[in-house]
Structure 1
Amino acid sequence: MPDLIRIPCVLMRGGTSKGPYFIASDLPDETEARDRILISAMGSGNLLEIDGIGGGHPLTSKVAIVSPSRLPGVDVDYLFAQVKVEQRVVDTSPNCGNMLAGVGPFAIEAGLVAARDGVTRVRIFNVNTGRLIEAKVATPGRQVVYDGDVSIDGVPGTAAPVHLAFLGAAGSKTGKLLPTGRPINRIDGIEVSCVDAAMPVVLIRASDLSKTGYETPADFNADPDFMRRLEALRIEAGKLMGIPDAADRVIPKPVLIAPPANGGTLSTRYFMPHSCHTALAITGSVAVATAAVTPGTLAHAIAGDHPLPAKLGLEHPFGRLDVTLDRHPDYAEPAAYVVRTARRLFEGHVLVKASLLASNAAA
């Protein structure tokens, strides 16, 4: 019996993230066995992820697991897994909107969704949050194309657009847009806004933590005292939001906000949560934009009034990400629309030890 097993996967860039995309049936059904496979495949537990295909960074240590959906009117289910780099841990509590950008193209090319001539709509159920997202993928001649003229900040060059619509995103993990019931809370003397729309976040004015909000990710990551204080605020915010084990999870995400510096609506610095994102997570952008149109929040106080439909420009370290909010007939909260790109990078098999499938394998 061979000591390595071959698991089909496709390495893709989705937005400003990257990782392998799997068909769910190619992975174990049992969660612990599946996570052992993912940890081994990515090389988790090592700063460089040297013994796997992970990129040694939270943005390149992500996994998308896709399967046909049994839900009426839904094409595919998508489970996102954040495989931690230095810890042998898999966290499936959040969604990832950047990896989501690759789900539609992947599903079409895997034969899970029939392509239409021109544009193919893929309705995606995010298993992590229980929410629906609609992707529109360019398919001229019933073929997925990746080359195009759309650029997104944080990714070099241009590519074909993937249009994403987040439907009913409010309360993705906590059940409420404002999980604490208030637009502003105070933690250790600091005002925060706890918001849950596609991603639970805690918004903090950068100036209240003696920052401008325009620092680089490297500046933040090199300031251990600041990072410790931010983590303490995040954990306490988690408790207020009904996430008592936030210390062991990657939610809620802390976001520093400040007035715009380059013509946008808000300046943002998004944390993952233990390092600063080099750009801005898509789910995080949905949360920040929704907060900006929610009266009483810290984001609204900076952004001002934006009647719907509204296009909000969220500045981040690599540039800007635009989110359009508009009313939707099926949901009380506004739907959020973003444009991303994706690229298929490599297809084949990832090899992992066969012993990881044994029932008594060490976690």
Structure 2
Amino acid sequence: MIADVVRAEGAPGPTLVLDQGGLPRGALALRGELTALRRWLEETGRGRIHKIALVGRSPVASYDVDYRFVQCLPEPDGFDFRAGCGHSLLAAVVASGRRGPVRVRAVTTGDPVLCLPRPDGSYTVRLERAVPTAALLPTGRPVQRLCGLPVSLVRYGNPYVFVAARDLGLSSRDALFGAGAEVLARLLAVRAAAARLLGLPAGGALPKVAAVGASLPGRLTARAATVAGWHPGLALTGGLCLAAAREVPGTVPWLLSEGPHRRPWAAGDRERPLRLDTPSGPMLVSAAGSGRRLAHVAVHGKRARVLERSLPLPWRIHVTA
């Protein structure tokens, strides 16, 4: 078994990209194999790899590739098979070497994703799930209280919990980006409470959580937490979900982004851009739709590069197993 190591800009670490055609059916259920693989990564100085992507030709005619994601949790034998990761999806597309637009079926989340290469070498990553904006609220409520804070639970790709930075006592971008362990602990407590509300494991990777602040018109400030601490920037899925949440009346991002003055899309509206300020730099996202229906959401200008090509792995499973 061989793999590529690819890092997308803005990701907490690299992704190990495997060809799923080289694995037997049900191989991912064998956690012992994945645990042994993680141990080998640690022993060979690759312990920073906490994301695994499987990619292969899709059997569905409308897609080019299938993509499946595994998140390594802090426990040595801990894995989450429910989450999606946009940075790892882009890493898988770059590792595949495909040219031109690539239509990806994100098997883990069931989402259709289009990766569009740009002339400057970057990509636009577009999640093309068309839904009414009201359907993005898993509890049916735009705002509710968790751990004493008003929050919004929104599901577009990964489910996210959005908390207003001001409700955490953070009144500026510098205060948000400089927040330490105390604020992180509050966000993780909110995340755990949201997981219980959604029927998800409290120690898993979902839902994600991010603090959001108001900024200039057409801009928001965001900082997210990961399973291991503060995210260095904002997950690609976080940018997608935040752009979607901004279009749902009553949510925290909607209220922070001139909510009462925002209008629904008119027929034929173009993508509505949003610039996000994150600790690692700006992120440009956009959303498009009609009326109160979301058509797609995109993140623009994303890059990834191959760090290691054709890395031989000590995988003990054989395709005849």
User: What amino acid does structure 1 have at the position aligned with 2:63?
Assistant: V
CA deviations over 1:32-67 (Å, ceiling 9, x no partner): 5554333333338xxxx63256343xxx42111012
Aligned to 1:315: 277
Q: Report the Cα distance in structure 2 between the residues aligned to 1:33 and 1:76, rounded to whole angstroms.
A: 22
Unaligned runs of 5+ in 2: none
Aligned partners of 1:298, 1:125: CA distance in 2, in Å? 30
The separation in 1 between residues aligned to 2:30 and 2:67, in whole angstroms, is: 15
Shift of 1:92: 1.8
Q: Give the secondary structure class of the aligned counterpart of 1:105.
A: helix
Structure 1 distance, partners of 2:136, 2:212, is 18
Matched, 1:229 2:186: yes
Gaps of 5+ in 1: 1-6, 139-147, 150-159, 358-363
- What CA RMSD, in Å, does the superposition of the two structures yield over aligned residues? 3.1
- Structure 2 match to 1:10: 4
Output the CA distance in 2 between the equivalents of 1:337 and 1:54: 31
Selected match of 1:38 from 14, 34, 57: 34
Per the normalisation by structure 1, the TM-score is 0.75
Q: 1:328 to 1:253 in 2, by over 3 A?
A: same
- Equivalent residue for 1:254? 209
Aligned equivalents of 1:178, 1:21: Cα separation in 2:
32
1:269 aligns with 2:228: no
What letter is aligned with 1:296? G
Hey, what's the Cα distance between the residues in 1 that align with 2:37 and 2:46?
Answer: 8
1:155-178 CA-to-partner distances (Å, cap 9, x unmatched) read xxxxx112221100769xxx9400
Distance of aligned partners of 1:188 and 1:218 in 2 relative to their CA distance in 1, 3 Å threshold: closer
Is it true that 1:209 corresponds to 2:163 in the alignment? no
Of the two structures, which has the highest relative contact order with CA contacts closer than 8 Å and spacing of 6 or more?
A: 2
User: Is this contact kept in 2: 1:134–1:164, CA < 8 A?
Assistant: yes
Corresponding letter in the other structure for 1:229: R
Is 1:293 equivalent to 2:247 in the alignment? yes
Alpha-carbon shift at residue 31 of structure 1 (Å): 4.2
Given the superposition, is the C-alpha separation of residues 40 and 350 from structure 1 closer, same or farther in structure 2, using an over 3 Å criterion? farther
Report the counterpart of residue 351 of structure 1 in structure 2.
313
Asked whether the equivalents of residues 14 and 100 of structure 1 are also in contact (C-alpha less than 8 Å), the reply is no
* Alignment map for 1:321-336 (pairs within 5 Å): 321-327=283-289, 332-336=293-297
- CA distance in structure 2 between the partners assigned to 1:167 and 1:252 by the alignment: 21
Alpha carbons 1:9, 1:347 under 8 Å: kept: yes
The question of 1:129 aligning with 2:109 is answered yes
Q: Compute the displacement of 1:128 (Å).
A: 1.1
CA contact (8 A) 1:15 1:341 kept: yes
Structure 2 counterpart SS, 1:211: coil
The number of residue pairs the alignment matches comes to 309
Is 2:170–2:176's contact at 8 Å kept on the other side of the alignment? no
Q: Give the TM-score normalised by the residue count of structure 2.
A: 0.84
The letter for the 2-side match of 1:341 is R
Corresponding letter in the other structure for 1:13: R
Q: What is the distance in 2 between the residues matched to 1:279 and 1:216?
A: 15
How much does 1:253 deviate? Answer: 0.8
How far apart are residue 226 of structure 1 and its match? 3.4
CA deviations on 1:165-209 (whole Å, 9 max, x unpaired) are 1100769xxx94001101111123311111001110011112222
- Tell me which moved more, 229-238 or 277-286: 229-238
Whole-angstrom CA distance in 2 between matches of 1:52 and 1:30: 27
Establish whether residue 99 from structure 1 lines up as the match of residue 53 from structure 2.
no
Report the counterpart of residue 127 of structure 2 in structure 1. 166
CA gap 1:182/1:75 in 2 versus in 1, 3 angstroms: same
Identity %: 25
What SS class does the counterpart of residue 250 from structure 1 fall into? coil
